[in-house]
């Protein structure tokens, strides 16, 4: 995969609030969130995500996917 080819410390996300994330931080953070989502939701449950455009959206989306949950993206700007 990309993390293997480029390196786990390669930056892949950046925003003005939380700074830069590399592959390693993304996958660790997403898995931590995924475990929390598993604890508070049912398998295959749709989970609404209402977040501004920032690194947290990607972490939440990947975390939900790793927990076998469906992400229902809600427009933050509406």
| pLDDT tens digits for range 9-37 | 999 999 998 899 999 999 999 999 999 99
Distance CA 62, CA 68 (A): 10
Whether the pLDDT of residue 63 is over 80: the answer is yes
What is the structure's pLDDT at 78? 63
User: What is the signed CA dihedral for 19, 41, 35, 39, rounded to 10 degrees?
Assistant: 130
Contact 48, 37 (CB under 8 A): no
């Amino acid at each position: 995969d990309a993390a293997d080819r480029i390196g786990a410390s390669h930056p892949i996300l950046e925003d003005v609030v939380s700074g830069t994330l590399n592959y390693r931080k993304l996958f660790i953070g997403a898995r931590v969130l995924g475990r929390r989502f598993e604890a508070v939701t049912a398998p295959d449950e749709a989970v609404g995500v209402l977040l501004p455009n920032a690194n947290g959206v990607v972490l939440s989306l990947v975390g939900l996917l790793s927990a076998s949950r469906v992400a229902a993206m809600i427009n933050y700007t509406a």
